Amino acid sequence: MNSQWECVIGLEVHVQLKTQSKIFSGAPTAFGAEPNTQACAVDLGLPGVLPVLNRDAVEKAITFGLAVGGDVARTCRFDRKNYFYPDLPKGYQISQLDEPIVAGGYLDVEFEGELRRINLTRAHLEEDAGKSVHDAFVNQSGIDLNRAGTPLLEVVSEPELTSPAEAAAYFRTLHALVRYLGICDGNLNEGSMRCDANVSIRPRGSSELNERTEIKNINSFRFVERAITFEIERQIELVESGGKVVLETMLYDAERDETRPMRSKENSDDYRYFPDPDLLPVIVSDAMFEEARAALPELPAAKRKRYVEDLGLDAKTATRLVADLPTASYFEATAAAAGNAQLAANWITSDVAAALNKAGDDTEIKIPAETLGVLIQRIEDDTISSKIARSLFDVLWSEGGDVDRLIKDRGLEQVSDTGALQSIVDELVAQNTAQVEQYRAGKTKVLGFFVGQVMKATQGKANPKQVNELLTAALAGE
């Protein structure tokens, strides 16, 4: 970015709540069904139907509010946001304007090795609209109303993000959190989280808030960063050539990597919001509130702190492990089985991560945590060398099996029998007089040659520590 300017970014993220049925009807929310097979009379906005609020959606919103330290409203209300669009048959969207379920709160975002606190304005419940389908018919558009009425939690940040990369880090942190909480499946490619990015620029060091544009519907971490980057550049160029940023809704075109104006931005007056007369105010009872609080899992930030302070991991490794709940749980189970957190962390961030990478997306870890724990124990108690452990890891990953059984059946025990190793060492020293001379003349590097020979003779199974001790003694002529 041009150094005279800085940018201001605020994100509005639509989090699709993972409920069985819709927010105001009993129709299912599952992704990928045949068009218009999951929209009932309520979702279609047929006359005479009434919405009924889904308790699960409210509970998930409360869970989110507690997790971000926001104020969970004990009573709140739904409003109608009126507009016409083909994918909105009712002519209005049910949302929350003045009384959102969650006010305030914050997310601690790790960015460039530091934690930055980004404040949230609010999080409110609303229903999703349907979808226009432009590629199913020639010269015609279709409407698929399966998504109409799917519960969304719209999470609005304060305008506190200061770079495209930081905005992407915020989006990632929010993604990790909602998956932790089990309130959203986080499937970005199915549209489970969609983000509108509000962007403005100002002279570096200034604290004014200038006119912004809003880029709609970005559905990947990478695109958030790219769309904002493009938009900042566009605004700088515009202002530097004497133009003015106008409040506009922009569309990000991923294929051309550019933002384009879509429409002049509406403001809330345009929507003629009013309280939905079909819905009663929502009352969050003490019981509901306490239940949500009691069910709250340990959050990523707390986990990370515990890994560093109690388990002695470095901050970077801890961040990696807490990035998603399955990985964190796997780590904890492995560490417990191995009796060693650091080694468990090393294996998970290197060998396990590499194996997952190689296997591609959506693969699960193929080795149970308990099994990996035993494998680590067998290195620790000198039964096998780490080199053998690596090859055993590959076997366990592709074929499964029991660590101790495999070690036994394949004869992989480390040779720690001093007598057996001593005779190999003695023989080597006797046979390689030239190298022994070199060693004694000060060329201690030839030790490596001898270690290699012992390993070869034992097929890699010799205990490296003992080999070193025995060789050093023998070569010194003791």
List interacting residues with Mg ion (CB under 5 A).
12
Size of the site for ligand ADP (CB under 6 A): 16
Smaller CB distance to ligand ADP: residue 210 or 458? Answer: 210
Token look-up 């060789």 returns 471
Could you give the CA distance from residue 396 to residue 477 in angstroms, rounded to a whole number?
A: 43
Q: According to CB under 6 A, which one of 104, 159, 275, 297 is a site residue for ligand ADP?
A: 159
Near ligand ADP by CB under 6 A, which window of 20-28, 151-159, 167-175, 314-322? 151-159
How far is it, in rounded angstroms, from Cα 239 to Cα 219?
A: 28
Q: Rounded to the nearest whole angstrom, what is the least distance from the CB of residue 240 to Mg ion in the complex?
A: 26
Q: How far is the CB of 295 from ligand ADP (least distance, A)?
A: 29
Q: Which of 156, 238, 333, 451 binds ligand ADP (CB under 6 A)?
A: 156
Distance of alpha carbon 68 from its chain centroid, rounded?
16
Task: Classify residue 100 as exposed, middle or buried by CB count within 10 Å of its CB (0-12, 13-18, 19+).
Answer: buried
Give the C-alpha separation, 36 to 87, whole Å. Answer: 12
Which C-beta is closer to ligand ADP: that of 9 or that of 299?
Answer: 9
- Which CB atom, from 90 or from 212, has the smaller least distance to ligand ADP? 212
In angstroms, what is the minimal distance from the CB of 156 to Mg ion?
Answer: 8
The answer to the question of residue 209 lying near ligand ADP (CB under 6 A) is yes
Q: Identify any residues that bridge with 108 across adjacent strands, giving them in sequence order.
A: 117
Closer to ligand ADP by Cβ: residue 195 or 415: 195
Which C-beta is closer to ligand ADP: that of 96 or that of 327? Answer: 96
Stretch that binds ligand ADP, among 157-165, 288-296, 321-329, 357-365 (CB under 6 A): 157-165
Q: Which is nearer to ligand ADP, 156 or 239 (CB)?
A: 156
Kindly state whether residue 246 participates in binding ligand ADP, applying the rule CB under 6 A: no
Rg (CA), the chain: 30
- Under rule CB under 6 A, residue 93 binds ligand ADP: no
User: Considering CB distances under 5 to 8 angstroms, the limit depending on partner class, which of ligand ADP, Mg ion, none binds residue 10?
Assistant: ligand ADP
User: E-strand spans in 145-275?
Assistant: 151-157, 193-203, 213-218, 248-253, 258-264, 274-275
Rounded to whole angstroms, the Cα distance separating 166 from 173 reads: 10
Using CA atoms, how far apart are residues 478 and 474, in angstroms rounded to an integer?
6
Q: Between 30 and 209, whose beta carbon lies closer to ligand ADP?
A: 209
Identify which range of 8-16, 385-393, 433-441, 448-456 contacts ligand ADP by CB under 6 A. 8-16
Applying CB under 6 A, does 200 fall inside the site for ligand ADP?
A: yes
Q: Is 164 in the site for ligand ADP (CB under 6 A)?
A: no
Structure token digits, residue 271 = 């929507």
**Distance of alpha carbon 376 from alpha carbon 210, whole angstroms:** 57
Determine the residue with CB nearest ligand ADP: 10
Residue 123 interacts with which of Mg ion, ligand ADP, none, CB < 5 to 8 Å by class: none
Question: Which residues fall within 8 angstroms of residue 30, CB to CB, at 6 or more apart?
Answer: 38
Binding partner of 147, given Mg ion, ligand ADP, none, CB within 5-8 angstroms per partner class:
none
Name the residue with tokens 């201690």.
Answer: 444
Piece in contact with ligand ADP (CB under 6 A), picked from 9-17, 126-134, 232-240, 454-462: 9-17
For ligand ADP, the closer CB: 199 or 352: 199
CB neighbour class for 377 (10 Å; exposed up to 12, middle 13-18, buried from 19): middle
- x/- string (CB under 6 A) for ligand ADP, residues 368-407? ----------------------------------------
Instruction: Return the one option of Mg ion, ligand ADP, none that residue 11 interacts with (CB less than 5 to 8 A, by type).
Output: ligand ADP
Alpha helices in 242-385 (DSSP H): 286-295, 300-309, 315-322, 325-338, 341-347, 353-359, 369-380
Amino acid at 207: S
Which residues lie closer than 8 Å to 386 by C-beta, 6 or more apart?
Answer: 379
d(CA 44, CA 41): 5
Tokens of 100: 């959102």
Q: Is 280 a binder of ligand ADP (CB under 6 A)?
A: no
Among 214, 233, 413, 469, binds ligand ADP (CB under 6 A): 214
**Residue 275 · residue 79 · CB < 8 Å:** yes
Q: Can you tell me which of 157, 317, 385, 435 binds ligand ADP, judged by CB under 6 A?
A: 157
Which positions ≥6 away from 5 have C-beta within 8 Å?
201, 202, 203, 204, 232, 236
Reported as type and span, the H/E element at residue 81 is: strand 79-82
Q: Considering beta carbons, is residue 268 or 418 the nearer one to ligand ADP?
A: 268
Q: Which is nearer to Mg ion, 59 or 128 (by Cβ)?
A: 128
Tokens representing residue 199 in the block: 């962007």
Task: List residues binding ligand ADP (CB under 6 A).
Answer: 8-12, 156-159, 198-200, 209-210, 212, 214
